[in-house]
Structure 1
Amino acid sequence: MLTATRRFEFSAAHRYWRDDWSQAENQRVFGKCISPYGHGHNYTLDVTITGTLDPRTGMVMNMTELKALVNEVLEEFDHKHLNEDTPYFKDQLPTTENLVRVLWQLIAAHLPTVARLAHLRIYEQPDLWADYDGAEETTFARAYSFAAAHRLHAPALSAEENRAVYGKCNNPNGHGHNYTLEVSVTGPHDPATGMVIDLEAMDRSVRAVLDQLDFCHLDHEVAAFADKPSTAENIVVYLWDELAPRFEGRLSHLKLWETRKNVFTYTGPHSV
């Protein structure tokens, strides 16, 4: 399958609030997002289409045409208050998950027959986004960071073999990284909150695991790496094993950035 993606940007305000909930309940679930005046974001929207390659033009769809089509849809949202200025959030909250589904319906309806909408990703913030592909479930993702030191050294290898395999990463005194972990959770969105998962609960669950690694030397201070090398592959599998039970089957994948050039994705043992 061939796909093409174009990125768009728009700015909007929104507010999370349910009239049928008390102030305390709204505060507990939505936190600072309940401000009566709303708050705002610079949204980034990645639109991915698929279709048959036109042998005459070499395109699935002219990107200029896609740009005009999507911008026409986004005009209804750009520099608007989503609750007050659009008709889509009178009966549902303008969460990231709900917004991506509304945009899917509008963009899909405008596409010509030669192309099909394959995927949308909307970033509310650089470390918070939602994915949607038209299915019943939505994916919500958030990025977290932690800093740790480690040394790549395999007990099963000789000193010479370790130096040959790991190079500078086998430095006896270790080295370190600012790691970024992307955590993606997939499931039906709660019609009451418009969310796939309670964000504050998600943050607590992830930080409870990452805080055990943050500002540590993995080989010396984390038992799981006492007898195996602390490669990014082993780290992301370890993080899956720690996090998956906390998300009760909704964890869809983890992506671990060791550096800007080294990225590792794991979807659990079922995918092996």
Structure 2
Amino acid sequence: MDVFATRRFNFSASHRYWREEWSLEQNEAVFGKCTNRYGHGHNYELFVTVAGAVDPITGMVMNMVELKRLVTMVLDQFDHKHLNEDTPYFREVIPTTENLVRVLWGLIEPQLPKGVRLAKLRLYENSDLYAEYFGRQQQATFNRRYEFSAAHRLHAQSLTDEANREIYGKCNNPNGHGHNYQLEVTVDGLIDAQTGMVIDLVDMDRRVQSVLDNWDHRHLDYQVAEFAEQPSTAENIVVVLWQRLEALFGSQLKHLRLWETANNVFDYPLSQH
């Protein structure tokens, strides 16, 4: 059975989203600020996951020093470069996160030694946005993180007050408490040949915010219908969010991750892929 090993890399680059055959208005409607003629930049963070059998002599799937050398050699082509102007890969292709991670896959995979396969690349453009690629031609996943602030009280109506206090502790405070919730939404699909994106980011934001705006700065127990009869635990919250977002995204919605605090994280469904 394969073991998976991951190493993190960083590089800095600038890029611009623009289609010459589109009008200024159409470019700005689809790409927003990313159309800036001079470009903009990111500190990219790349996670490279390789897989294979553990070598019985070295005890490793792959020597991480060798993986570092190979990947760094690839990333040197992009580091401190303007992706559109300074690399040959994006003269005709828009350097979106999805397209960039797919190009990196094509450059890294052939460098790996025999018996080691490239399992996954995850590329962060910033801390709230990343794309993943698994070598499936034009298909990729796209993840975006959102935040909402809400109050709640953990209380099960079918239990006695004493039982609620015993189970929920401080979270059963009658006056409630609150969190800055963070929600990661993962969708997948084909990378659009024109936009270079799995999903229109503006439209994705609009759909997610149409749900979260009704939760933000609210008391979940009093102001969200689904929690009138069930405890507003993070487990229940992430399931309700899935139900609401699935109605908007359909089968393109693949995974939700809800951060209640830095220590408490909840995934639904468990398996993304």
- 2:131 is matched with which residue? 130
Q: Which amino acid aligns with 2:71?
A: V
Letter in 1 for 2:269: T
Q: How far apart in 1 are the matches of 2:171 and 2:250? A: 36
**Pairs within 5 Å for 1:109-120:** 109-120=110-121
Report whether the alignment pairs 1:24 with 2:51.
no
Q: Runs of at least 4 residues of structure 1 off by over 4 A?
A: none
Give the equivalent residue in structure 2 for 1:246.
Answer: 248
Q: Would the aligned equivalents of 1:138 and 1:188 in 2 still touch at CA under 8 Å?
A: yes
Structure 2 residue aligned with 1:95: 96
> Is 1:149 the counterpart of 2:151 in the alignment?
yes
Q: Which runs of 5+ in 2 are unaligned?
A: none
CA shift for structure 1 position 150: 0.5
Aligned with 1:172 (options 166, 171, 174): 174
Equivalent position of 1:159 in the other structure: 161
User: Alignment partner of 1:249: what SS?
Assistant: helix
> How far did residue 92 of structure 1 move?
1.1
CA deviation profile, 1:31-87 (whole Å, cap 9, x unmatched): 111111111000000000001101111111110000000000000000000001111
- State the AA in 2 paired with 1:141: N
8 Å CA contact 1:61–1:114 kept in 2: the answer is no
Distance 1:222 1:50 in 2: 44
What amino acid is the match of 1:262? N
Determine if contact 1:142/1:182 at 8 Å carries over to the other structure.
yes
Instruction: Say which SS state the counterpart of residue 146 (structure 2) adopts.
Output: strand
Amino acid of the structure 2 residue aligned with 1:8: F
Give the equivalent residue in structure 1 for 2:265. 263
Partner of 1:54: 55
Q: Secondary structure at the match of 2:104?
A: helix
- The TM-score with structure 2 as length reference comes to 0.97
Q: Could you state the TM-score of these two structures normalised by the residue count of structure 1?
A: 0.97
Q: Counterpart in 2 of 1:210?
A: 212
Secondary structure class of the residue paired with 2:131: strand
Distance 2:141 2:267 in 1: 16
Q: CA deviation at 1:240?
A: 0.7
Partner AA of 2:87 in structure 1: T
- Secondary structure of the residue aligned to 2:195 is coil
Greater CA drift, 157-166 or 126-135: 157-166
Q: CA deviation at 1:114?
A: 2.8
The whole-number CA distance in structure 2 between the counterparts of 1:265 and 1:190 is: 28
Q: Which residue of 2 aligns with 1:121?
A: 122
**RMSD, matched Cα:** 1.3
How many percent of aligned residue pairs carry the same amino acid?
63
Aligned length: 270
CA-CA distance at 1:267 after TM superposition: 2.5
- Name the CA distance, whole Å, in 2 between partners of 1:247 and 1:93: 24
